Chains A and B, each alone.
Chain A
Amino acid sequence: MAQAFELLLRGDAETWGIIGRSLSFSFFATVFSLIPGIPLGIFIAWKPSKGRRVLASLIHAISALPTVVIGLFVYAFLSRSGPLGFLGFLYAPAGVILGQFFLAMPLVASVTYTGLAKLDPRFKETLETFGTPLLFKFSATLREAKTAVLSSVVLSFGRVIGEVGVSMMLGGNIRGLTRTMTTAIALDAAKGEFERAISLGLVLLLIAVAVNVTVNGLAAHGR
């Protein structure tokens, strides 16, 4: 265990590259997932019709799928023998980010939707009554549901930074290109280099804690 800490502090360039890569892949995937995810969540919460409730269940189900399953489906599309092969995303950072996007997006939508469902219904009525423009409705809703939105950011970032199924399948764990903390841990554990695996695991843990603390702090400050 002490060796693990020592490895961390010595910090070679490759290890820091792996950490930086994990952070940037997951950061981009999370940010991109917010763009369709939050509006989708708001859309479902706004008029709870039967159709939208079915959509909500579908999104809940997808957000709980094992990462290898999502990785497999995206792989089928991104392979050269698949329809989107020409993009050249497979075994490259873009593929990992796309896969993680599909992990994060349903989670963002479902958490946003759940959070909004708890909103005071009079808020929605007020917005509807005055015939307010869509953009204002959207930004007002966002402000009211700030906690829900921030939670969705934290949860989706957490889901993607700690996942290995998508990264392994779409990234190929290529040294110097798509090796992330989780795939590196998997490889180190496979090679019996447990000390290195543990040191990366500690970094992952620290990041998860840091993200949680930061966002919860933001939420508390905003209230």
Chain B
Amino acid sequence: MKSSQRRILAVVVCMLAACFTAWAQSPQNGQPTNPRIKLATTTSTEQSGLLAYMLPVFEKKTGYKVDVIAVGTGASLKIAEKGDCDIVLVHARSLEDAFMAAGWGSERRDVMYNDFIVLGPKNDSAGIRNAKTAKDAFAMIAAKKAIFISRGDNSGTHVKEKDLWKLASLAPSGTWYKEAGQGMSQVIIMAEQLDGYTLADRATWLAVKGSAPGLSIIFEKDTDLLNPYGIITVNPAKWPHVNIAGAKALMDFFTGPDGRSLIESYKIGGDQCFFLL
């Protein structure tokens, strides 16, 4: 073998060795038998930074490792229905109830709530600042055909948005109504770029507002805008491979004293964004 070929072979072998060493996880004492928990959740819980704040505490305490798949409420529940995760943390009560009724979840608990806000351009072209209710604000946006960015992805936020349009007896359509099919942060940035309105959860807004300086909260604080989160373990009767011990441990953490105090103490820029249920 020529010396150049030998060199190449040596490099390849070293790379392989390095990669495998990086991957080899020596089992530690006291670790649970199945240490990985797959949590499917919304983009708001991840992008607001709440999970990055809470999960390391849980992982250190229990030895579990939580794999977070952040896709949106509708998608999370669908992933659970297909057996590809162990537990979901979502915020669309109607979808959650349907999920439980169909037998996909073994247990559901309330976790926390935050609220939705209507973001819009600082000049409030649709004049919704003094609307009486959220559905009135939506009706005014539709009447003015002001640009509105919808999540369009069956997320918890999207479900709430659709509920509000229904309350206002409207079916929005037209070039002013843009269905983005993206996560919360992306939609907020899109709304700013297009000088439009959008419905957002307060936590993601607080986390992202630095990147969207042209937007501000135009309408808020209506009981219709409350946004409760639920946590549901996937039913092992439907999917036997589910890490039910891990899922239960994570659910207990979120609804137990440790998790609850973390939720209460999580602040973005000094503002609390999630409130206990």
Contacts and interface: CB of A to CB of B under 8 A. Distances in A.
> Do A and B interact?
yes
A191 B211 CA distance: 8
B69 A91 contact: yes
Interface residues of A, number: 26
B82 interface: yes
Given A172-B67, A177-B67, A81 B83 contact: yes
A20 B22 contact: yes
A221 interface: yes
A81 B81 CA distance: 9
Interface in A167-202: 172-177, 190-193
A57 interface: no
> Helix, strand, loop or mixed for chain A's interface?
loop
Given A193-B211, A221-B4, A174 B83 contact: no
Contacts of A173: 69-70
B241 A80 contact: yes
Nearest to B59: A176
B226 interface: no
Interface stretch (B158-166, B178-186, B250-258): B178-186
A79 interface: yes
A192 B185 contact: yes
Interface string B76-89: 00000011110000
Interface string B190-215: 00000000000000000110111000
Contacts of B83: 79-81, 85
B182 A90 contact: no
A46 interface: no
Interface string B1-39: 000100010000001000100110000000000000010
B238 to A, nearest CB: 10
Nearest to B82: A81
Nearest to A168: B71
B185 A174 contact: no
Interface in B227-241: 239, 241
A27 interface: yes
Contact of A192 (B15, B68, B208): B208
Interface of B: 4, 8, 15, 19, 22-23, 38, 47, 52, 65, 67-71, 82-85, 182-183, 185-186, 189, 207-208, 210-212, 239, 241
Given A20-B22, A85-B83, A221-B4, 18 more contacts: A27-B15, A79-B82, A90-B84, A91-B69, A91-B85, A93-B23, A172-B67, A172-B71, A174-B68, A175-B52, A175-B68, A190-B186, A191-B185, A191-B207, A191-B208, A192-B185, A192-B208, A193-B211
10 contacts: A27-B15, A79-B84, A80-B82, A81-B82, A81-B83, A88-B241, A91-B67, A177-B67, A190-B47, A192-B189
